[in-house]
């Protein structure tokens, strides 16, 4: 009889014998690795960049309001075009005080922080933006001011700040698999090996 062939007769173990089942071990480790979810990391720099974009958008708005080379009609036209505002909103916002501008800027930054602080993945960005635009409607400001905050969120680019980390995911899967010990099979003395 050659090695690896099945014996034509029943063989009984002459002593206890333990060996690893490599196939079952591999299956067990693969299951452990597959049970590990994807690893995401929070990128704080993205939040800071978006906050800066909000501040810049409000600053640019205020710079337009303060331009001495434009008359009132030209300022209103510019604000309507750049911020997609109605005539009424642009007219009201033309006379906004700097303190109000600072308050609106802070309100917009806080809305961003509230919605982005736990992390937003790429497929959640649009949903979060819609949520922010709905939350703006509930703010205790007159309509033109709410319109300006919405305009700023429509003007800036929003980015996911919770990013998939391929290397960390791979490492976590490998670690989970490595923690799984081998599958051992024991044949006791006198037991038939079938």
Give the SS3 label for residue 172: helix
> The whole model's pTM is what?
0.69
* Cα Rg, the chain, nearest whole Å: 32
- Evaluate the CA torsion angle 171, 41, 156, 89 in order and state its sign: positive
Give the C-alpha separation, 7 to 12, whole Å. 11
**For the chain, domain boundaries:** 16-38+165-193, 44-164
Is the CB of residue 187 less than 8 Å from the CB of residue 17? yes
Cα separation of 75 and 69, whole Å?
A: 9
pLDDT of residue 16: 72
pLDDT digits (tens, 9 = 90+) for 155-193: 999 999 988 878 877 887 777 777 888 877 877 766 665
Q: What is the DSSP letter of 12?
A: E
State residue 14's pLDDT score: 61
Measure the CA–CA gap between 1 and 184, rounded to whole angstroms.
26
Strand partners, 100: none
């Amino acid at each position: 009889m050659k090695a690896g062939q099945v014996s034509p007769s029943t063989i009984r173990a002459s002593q206890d014998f333990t060996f690893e089942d490599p196939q079952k071990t591999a299956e067990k480790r693969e299951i452990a690795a597959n049970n590990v979810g994807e690893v995401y990391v929070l990128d704080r720099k993205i939040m800071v960049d978006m906050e800066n974009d909000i501040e810049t958008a409000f600053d640019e708005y205020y710079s337009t309001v303060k331009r001495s080379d434009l008359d009132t009609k030209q300022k209103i036209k510019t604000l309507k075009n750049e911020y997609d505002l109605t005539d009424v909103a642009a007219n009201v916002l033309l006379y906004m005080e700097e303190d109000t501008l600072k308050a609106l800027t802070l309100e917009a930054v806080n809305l961003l922080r509230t919605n982005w602080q736990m992390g937003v993945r790429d497929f959640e960005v649009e949903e979060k933006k819609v949520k922010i635009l709905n939350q703006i409607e509930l703010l205790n400001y007159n309509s033109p001011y709410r319109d300006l905050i919405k305009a700023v969120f429509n003007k800036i680019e929003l980015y996911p700040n919770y990013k998939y980390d391929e290397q960390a995911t791979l490492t976590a899967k490998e670690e989970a698999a490595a923690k799984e010990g081998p599958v051992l099979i024991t044949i006791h003395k006198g037991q038939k090996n079938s």
